[in-house]
Structures are given as structure tokens and as C-alpha cells.
Amino acid sequence: MAKAFYNSLTESQDADSAGLHVHEPGQTLQERKAVSESKHFFVLDTMKQAGIDISNYTRTPLSKDMQEKYDLVVSMAKKEESPDWLLNSPNYTYWEINDPRGQDLATTTKVRDAIKSKVSDLINQK
């Protein structure tokens, strides 16, 4: 969601996305939704409500090499689940935002709005 909002709000393709716990690298979010065991997979729906289609975004694991090439790496994963190389990186920033996985539509929408707000703040700080 952060990647989509950043790229949309800045009219760029400067942001990328990767995760710390990716079990199916290369899988699109639409494919993830189709095979999700949870009936509560509302990320695509809430982003469409915001006018952004992320269904073809692919799941990519974050690597140490990858994080070194970015000016800023924003993580929303719990700090205790994050590797030391990320936590100790000078370009690491943590946003305390709950994971919407398995949550209902209203909760996922609140998470989406919180991420959009954080991304807007980040852009305005530049």
C-alpha cells in the first residue's frame, strides 16, 4: 500500500515494496488473494476504493543487498521480527502500523488510511 500511495501521490515510480516474511516470491497479490486461507483479504478492495489497483504487484522478499540501494527503507513489520542488518541500517525507518492480514474490511481500511497519511507526511517532509 505504501508503494502504491507514494508512486501515485508523487506521480513517479520511485518507491518499491518488499517484505520480510514472503512465502511465495513472485506471486501477485491477486494470486495471493485467490489462494489465501483467510476470507479476510481486503487489501486489494480497499486500495481499489482509493482508486489504485495493486492486484498485479508481486511479492518480493527484502534482502540486505536490496535495502542498501534505497535512500529510505520503511518497515511496518514488528521490530522483534526484523533482522539486525535492517534495524541497524542508517536508512531504516519504522512505522508502527498494524498488519491488516486476517482483519475485516473496516480494519483494513483504517490501516490503508494510516499508511496513506504516513506516506503523505513523508512526501511533505522532502
Report pLDDT for 53.
Answer: 97
**Phi, psi of 47, rounded to the nearest 5 degrees:** -70, -35
Angle in degrees, CA 97, 101, 107, rounded to 5: 65
2-125 — its CATH code? 3.40.50.2300
Report pLDDT for 7.
Answer: 97
The domain segmentation of the chain, as residue ranges, is: 2-125
Q: How far is CA 73 from CA 7, 33, 105, 108, 115, in A?
A: 15, 26, 27, 22, 14
Widest distance between CA atoms in the chain: 40
Report pLDDT for 67.
Answer: 84
Write the CB contacts of 35 (distance below 8 Å, at least 6 apart in sequence): none
Report pLDDT for 76.
Answer: 93
Report pLDDT for 30.
Answer: 93
> The C-alpha cell of 39 is what?
476470507
Three-state SS for 25? Answer: coil
> The C-alpha cell of 23 is what?
512465502
Residues of the chain with pLDDT under 70: none
Report pLDDT for 37.
Answer: 72
Model pTM?
A: 0.91
Buried b (16+ CB within 10 A) or exposed e, 37-47: eeeebbbbebb
Report pLDDT for 21.
Answer: 85
